[in-house]
Each structure stands twice: as structure tokens, then as C-alpha cells.
């Protein structure tokens, strides 16, 4: 069986690393890897391939940055050529980026079945580009791999139960697997030159970076918190930051880091403040309280007992959440058993 895996953005490299490792261990499957080139900086792309032993992509479309239409349009053209040449049995797409959308549309129009990993996530906020990407991708895919029961319910509500399978979350698999690597040599993954005690923050969502008021509010909150904050900065945020805000002294901006270093940063942080989808879950899996600077989350399983607190960008809400006691309640199950990738492969082979 031939599978064409399509990735393009940072969180997809991390998800594909885990699934591709399992796929490639099965001699009955031949995986072709296509990188759209949506993310291209060394520290947004190559570092993940190198560190996580992801095979070098067979194709890199090098589409780069642009408006939604420019970026997605270039991907459609490039992916179509590869699909026509490779004629895979399955196209495998991940998450909710423009690379996901382009992969699903191109493949389905060529009558090549599409399987979507991380299907069924919904914020119910159609102003998010990711929400549009998810809804379209799920509605045209042939096989939907749902990471949580909430995702299962969302897909059932959209009439997609017949093609939906619970797999668990591949990012949970990733945390379990790579945590062992870090524990073997923790010093290797430590970030130099940062404070001993810190809050870990990331910001990159369009709703925060494209709205200077939201960004200013977030940094106002950071300043008021007074604690040291380490912020590995997404290039999108770096671009806007200088013109939009005055950086408080307690905020330490660092370049984006690799996944293993990021996981170590999370493990050593007091708490996490973020608008990232992936980092909310990693904080939960690693038992760090998370403050989510968005108005909603797709990962509602993380919200119990204040493990994850939704604040939007209002400074007083961020401050209150960051000051709340660290939860002691046990984590609830709900993201599978750490074998999501095996389940995905088994379904692909069966269908
Ligand atoms: C994309 C995804 C988002 C995901 C995020 C993960 C879409 C619509 N959004 O958002 O769902 O959470 O990736 O990080 O697909 N840039 C660089 N170098 C790079 C990559 C980006 O400088 O290697 C800059 C460019 O100025 C670019 C901007 O970041 O215009 C945004 O990049 P883009 O891939 O369009 O969206 P993300 O915000 O990264
Ligand atoms: N991440 C990373 N280095 C960083 C920031 C984030 O490796 O400097 C990882 C993070 O641990 C998570 C993934 O990138 O696994 C999340 O990606 P991002 O926040 O860019 O996208 P989202 O998950 O919101 O789509």
C-alpha cells in the first residue's frame, strides 16, 4: 500500500514524526512524504526533521508565505502534480492548516481517498482560518481519525459518524515517546541563558497577532504578572511585535526551539500561557497548568479542575488565571492510550 503524507507546518512535523515512524516500520506500506514548504525557516522546519528522525521529504513544494489564497493556490497546483505522478492508495493529512486543506481538496478531486488525522476538532468560531480548514477537510475526507470523544460527537453532529474512528491523539503518543528521550539526557535539552523559575509563553494565532489591541493587552498582562516569562517567538509574532508593543523587562524573547527543547521548557516551567492548540495539550500531558489566551478551545477535555483556563486577551483575566493555585486533581483520560499511530495504520490497512 502506498500512502502520501502531506505536511507543511510545525505541528504537522511533530504529528507526522510519530505516525510515520509506525507506518515505516511496516514493510507492507510505502510512504511518500510531501512538504508543502508552508514553514521553511530552519527553526520552524528542518530542526524537527533532524531531531525527530523524520525522513527527508520526497517532495518539497517550497510554497512559502503569502495570503491564504496565494499560499493555498500554490499548494493545490503542486500537490496535484505529485498525486498524478505517485497515484497513492491514501493521502494522509494532519490538523487544520492551509497545507491540510490543500492536500484534502486536491486528493479528493482526483478520487484518491483522504484520511484526516485530528479530525472533528471545532472551536465553533468561523473567524478562525483553521476552523474553515477543519470543516472543509472533514466534509470531503474518506476516513476521519478523531483524537477525543468531543471530536467524535462533533463529527456525528455533522453526519460524519459513518467514516469516523476514535484513535486517540497522536500528540499524546509523541509526548510519551519523546519524554523518554529527554529523561535519558535532560541537560542536553535545557535552554541556556533563561531564568531558573519562569512561565512559558507562546503567541501566534491570527486573532492575537493581527489585532494590536489584543497583543498589547497580552503584554500588559505579562508585565503585571511580574514573574519571569520565557517566550519562544513565532516568526509571525516577531514581525508585528516591535511595532505593536513595548516589551516588558520580565519577558525573555528567544528564537523558536526544536520540539525536544520545547518539551523540556514546558517540563521545567511553573505554568504555560499560550494560544497554541498543541501546547495546551502538552501542558496538560506534562501536568502544567495552562492559561489559554483565546476565547475558546477545541480541547475541552483539558479544562477540568482548572488545568486549562480560557482567558482571551483581557489582562485582568490572564492575571487572575496565572495567579490561580496549581491544580492537584488527577488528569482525566480521554486522549487515547499512546498508541494512536498504530490504530491509524491499522485502519488505513483495513479500509
Ligand atoms: C500556521 C497555521 C496555524 C498553525 C501554525 C503553527 C494556517 C492558516 N495556519 O499559522 O493553524 O497553528 O501554522 O505554527 O495554515 N513565517 C516565517 N517563517 C516560516 C514560517 C512563517 O517567517 O518558516 C512568517 C511569515 O511572515 C508568514 C507568517 O509567519 O507570513 C505566518 O505563517 P503561516 O504559515 O501563513 O501561518 P502561521 O501563523 O504559521
Ligand atoms: N513548539 C516547538 N517550538 C517552539 C514552539 C512550539 O517545538 O518554539 C511545538 C509545541 O511544543 C507543539 C507545537 O510546536 O508541539 C505546536 O505548534 P504551534 O503552536 O506552532 O501550532 P498549533 O499547535 O497551535 O497549531
Q: What is the pLDDT of residues 53-101, one digit of tens each?
A: 999 999 999 999 999 999 999 999 999 999 999 999 999 999 999 999 9
Whose atoms come closest to the Cα of 8: which ligand?
Answer: 1
SS3 of residue 338 by DSSP: coil
Give the rounded distance of the alpha carbon of 138 from its chain centre. Answer: 17
Q: How far apart are CA 75 and CA 37, in angstroms?
A: 9
Helix 277-285 to helix 10-24 angle (10° resolution) is 60
pLDDT score, position 334: 96
Please state which CATH class domain 180-322 belongs to: alpha beta
Q: Which residue has the cell 492548516?
A: 97
For the segment 144-152, the average pLDDT, to the nearest whole number, is 98
Please tell me if the CB atom of residue 268 comes closer than 6 angstroms to any atom of ligand 1.
no
pLDDT band at 298 (very low <50, low <70, confident <90, very high): very high
Q: How far apart are CA 239 and CA 218, in angstroms?
A: 16
93 DSSP assignment: E
Pocket test for ligand 2, best of 95, 202, 269 (most atoms within 8 A of CB): 202
Distance (angstroms) between ligand 2 centre and the Cα of 279 equals 6
Q: Which residue has the cell 523518554?
A: 180
Residue in 38, 42, 27 with CA at minimum distance from that of residue 75: 38
Residue in 34, 42, 37 with CA at minimum distance from that of residue 9: 37
Q: How far apart are CA 72 and CA 76, in angstroms?
A: 6
Cell numbers placing 178: 519523546
Residues in the chain: 351
Distance (angstroms) between ligand 2 centre and the Cα of 289 equals 17
Pocket test for ligand 2, best of 8, 9, 11 (most atoms within 8 A of CB): 11
Report pLDDT digits (tens) over 332-347: 989 999 999 999 999 9
Strand order through the sheet with 199-202:
251-254, 229-232, 199-202, 272-274, 290-292, 308-310
Report pLDDT digits (tens) over 222-270: 999 999 999 999 999 999 998 889 999 999 999 999 999 999 999 999 9
Look up the CATH number of domain 2-169+336-350. 3.40.50.2000
Scored b (16 or more CB within 10 A) or e, 43-54 reads bbbbbbbebbeb
Q: Is-contact 146 124, C-beta < 8 A?
A: no
pLDDT score, position 242: 83
Q: Answer yes or no: 30 catalytic.
A: no
Cell numbers placing 350: 483495513
- CATH 3.40.50.2000 positions along the chain are 2-169+336-350, 180-322
31 DSSP assignment: E
Q: How far apart are CA 296 and CA 122, in angstroms?
A: 10
Amino acid at each position: 500500500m502506498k500512502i502520501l503524507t502531506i505536511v507543511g507546518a510545525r505541528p504537522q512535523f511533530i504529528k507526522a514524526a510519530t505516525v510515520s515512524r509506525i507506518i515505516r516500520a511496516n514493510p507492507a506500506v510505502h510512504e511518500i512524504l510531501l512538504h508543502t514548504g508552508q514553514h521553511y525557516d530552519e527553526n520552524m522546519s528542518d530542526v524537527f526533521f533532524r531531531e525527530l528522525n523524520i525522513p527527508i521529504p520526497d517532495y518539497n513544494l517550497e510554497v512559502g508565505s503569502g495570503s491564504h489564497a496565494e499560499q493555498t493556490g500554490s499548494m493545490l497546483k503542486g500537490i496535484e502534480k505529485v498525486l498524478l505522478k505517485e497515484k497513492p492508495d491514501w493521502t494522509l493529512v494532519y490538523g487544520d492548516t492551509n497545507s491540510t486543506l490543500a492536500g484534502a481538496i486536491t486528493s479528493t478531486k482526483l478520487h484518491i481517498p483522504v484520511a484526516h488525522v485530528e479530525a472533528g476538532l471545532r472551536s465553533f468560531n468561523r473567524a478562525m482560518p483553521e476552523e474553515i480548514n477543519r470543516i472543509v477537510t472533514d466534509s470531503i475526507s474518506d476516513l476521519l481519525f478523531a483524537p477525543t470523544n468531543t471530536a467524535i460527537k462533533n463529527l456525528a453532529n455533522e453526519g460524519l459518524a459513518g467514516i469516523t474512528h476514535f484513535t486517540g491523539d497522536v500528540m499524546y503518543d509523541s509526548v510519551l515517546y519523546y519524554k523518554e528521550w529527554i529523561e535519558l539526557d535532560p541537560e542536553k535539552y535545557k535552554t541556556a541563558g533563561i531564568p531558573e523559575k519562569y512561565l512559558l509563553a507562546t503567541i501566534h494565532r491570527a486573532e492575537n497577532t493581527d489585532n494590536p489591541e489584543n497583543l498589547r493587552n497580552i503584554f500588559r498582562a505579562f508585565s503585571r504578572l511580574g514573574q519571569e516569562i520565557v517566550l519562544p517567538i513565532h516568526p509571525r509574532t516577531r514581525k508585528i511585535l516591535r511595532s505593536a508593543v513595548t516589551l516588558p523587562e520580565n519577558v525573555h524573547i528567544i528564537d523558536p526551539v526544536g520540539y525536544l527543547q520545547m518539551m523540556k521548557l514546558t517540563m521545567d516551567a511553573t505554568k504555560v500561557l499560550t494560544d497554541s492548540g498543541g501546547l495546551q495539550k502538552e501542558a496538560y500531558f506534562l501536568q502544567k497548568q495552562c492559561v489559554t489566551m483565546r476565547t475558546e478551545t477545541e480541547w475541552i477535555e483539558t479544562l477540568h479542575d482548572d488545568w486549562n483556563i480560557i482567558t482571551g486577551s483581557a489582562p485582568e483575566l490572564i492575571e487572575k488565571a496565572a495567579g490561580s493555585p496549581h491544580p492537584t486533581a488527577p488528569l482525566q483520560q480521554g486522549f487515547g492510550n499512546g498508541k494512536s499511530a498504530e490504530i491509524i495504520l491499522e485502519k488505513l490497512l483495513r479500509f
